[in-house]
Amino acid sequence: MDSPEQKITKTVSRVDASKESMANSRQVIGINFCGPTPLMWRADDLKSVRELGIIGTLVGSLARQPRQNTRLGRPLELLPEEGRLLADMGRAAVIPDSTNEDPEVNPEQVEQYHAGLENSFQEQGALALEDRKATLMRVMTKKHNENSGSQEDSDGAVRDRLEALAHGFSFPRTAMAVQLCTARAGLSHCPEVRRFLAADWPIPRDERSETRFRVFRDLRRQGFYLTSAGKFGGDYLVYPGDPLRFHAYFIVVCISMDESMPLCDVLAIARLGSNVKKTVLLCSSGGSQEDDGEEVVYTSLQWSGMV
């Protein structure tokens, strides 16, 4: 993070998205929908999307550290506004939901899958047995070195033990490791096909979502990074740069121009903002047209200093 002096004088940095996107060769990002929520699974996609200023939230378990939530893994959950912005930029495509497919349509695939599982099981069993044998050898050799008994006796003992192991060893099914693929090679894998799928984006058309989206797009255009602000009772948190490097400057509350705000709520959120050193922004979209050039108006709530 910057030192305090640098932050005071620093003007808002504008991410030069155009240069970076050229370097990215404009790949299309695949998005899976779980109900109304856009999710991303592919690691490459997560990286490209971050470079576009879309942050999202990781919501998955890490396979090796499941029982904690300090570090989460894929999928990356996007805000509806983030997904819609990607779609508008022509960078995202919805991957069709394959779970709705009738399983009987592809009996071959199912058979292949089970055959693959069986092969994996046999391989793992063989490897486990080898592993056990090696351990046994190591232990017996150590014992032999310690006891320094006769060579022939110990060799015989080792052979017997190994044979017993080979006969009696069984690899239980429950100990088998199964690989879960987060990216399946298939129809949606090829970039050309993704571009083809880009047309289909579900857009909610109520005023609130529309206002939220316009505010999101406008702030993103100004170079800010936005994440959700549930912890602060607002709509977005606005950062002057990548959230990993900066504290948030603003808590955004999206409202319509004519919506009546209870005064207690205004005071409450302004007070919260002062306490956490963030400015609360009341944001409204200028009009109700479908116009792309609609102005967004911002009002900052500032500490009055009047005790």
Partner 1 sequence: MSELTKKTDEDVIEKPLPPNWILQHPTYQHLMNLDVGDSAQVHAAFLVYLDLSEVRQWKEVSGVGCSELRLVLLEGREKEGEPTQTVLPLPVHRGLSHRSVRSVLARGSPMLLCVVASDSSLVYQRMCDGLLTPDPPVGIQDQGRRQHRKRRQQH
Active-site residue (options: 133, 247, 249, 298)? 247
Q: Does 299 bind partner 1 (CB under 8 A)?
A: yes
Stretch that binds partner 1, among 14-22, 56-64, 146-154, 263-271 (CB under 8 A): 263-271
- 154 vs 209, beta carbon nearer partner 1: 209
Site for partner 1 (CB under 8 A): which residue of 17, 255, 272, 294? 255
- 41 vs 250, beta carbon nearer partner 1: 250
Binding mask 220-249 for partner 1 (x = CB under 8 A): ---------------------------x-x
Q: What one-character-per-residue DSSP string does 50-105 give?
A: HHTTB--EEEEPBTTB-S-SSS-EEEEEPPHHHHHHHHHTT-EEEPP-GGGS-GGG
- 258 vs 290, beta carbon nearer partner 1: 258
Minimum distance of partner 1 from residue 263's CB (angstroms): 5
Site for partner 1 (CB under 8 A): which residue of 127, 175, 187, 297? 297
Q: Does 281 bind partner 1 (CB under 8 A)?
A: yes
Minimum distance of partner 1 from residue 247's CB (angstroms): 7
Site for partner 1 (CB under 8 A): which residue of 174, 260, 275, 289? 260
Site for partner 1 (CB under 8 A): which residue of 123, 257, 288, 295? 257
Minimum distance of partner 1 from residue 157's CB (angstroms): 45
Q: Are 94 and 200 in contact (CB under 8 A)?
A: yes
Secondary element (H or E) of residue 76: strand 73-77
Q: Does 69 bind partner 1 (CB under 8 A)?
A: no
Strand order through the sheet with 73-77: 57-60, 73-77, 37-40, 29-34, 92-94
Minimum distance of partner 1 from residue 301's CB (angstroms): 6
Ramachandran angles phi, psi of 143, nearest 5°: -60, -45
Is 114 tagged catalytic?
no
Is 144 tagged catalytic?
no
State the Cα–Cα distance between residues 214 and 156, nearest whole angstrom.
80
- Eight-state DSSP code of residue 100: G
Q: Are 85 and 216 in contact (CB under 8 A)?
A: yes
Is 247 tagged catalytic?
yes
Could you give the count of Cα atoms lying within 13 Å of 206 in the half-sphere of its Cβ?
4
Q: Are 188 and 96 in contact (CB under 8 A)?
A: yes
Site for partner 1 (CB under 8 A): which residue of 204, 244, 277, 288? 277
Ramachandran angles phi, psi of 65, nearest 5°: -135, 70
Active-site residue (options: 239, 249, 277, 298)? 239
Q: Does 1 bind partner 1 (CB under 8 A)?
A: yes
254: helix, coil or strand? strand
Ramachandran angles phi, psi of 37, nearest 5°: -95, 125
83: helix, coil or strand? helix
Do strands 250-254 and 236-239 pair parallel, antiparallel, or not at all (unpaired)? antiparallel
Q: Where in the sequence numbering do the catalytic residues fall? A: 239, 247, 278
- Contact footprint for partner 1 (CB under 8 A): 1, 3-4, 7-8, 247, 249-250, 255-264, 266-267, 270, 273, 277-279, 281-282, 284, 297-306
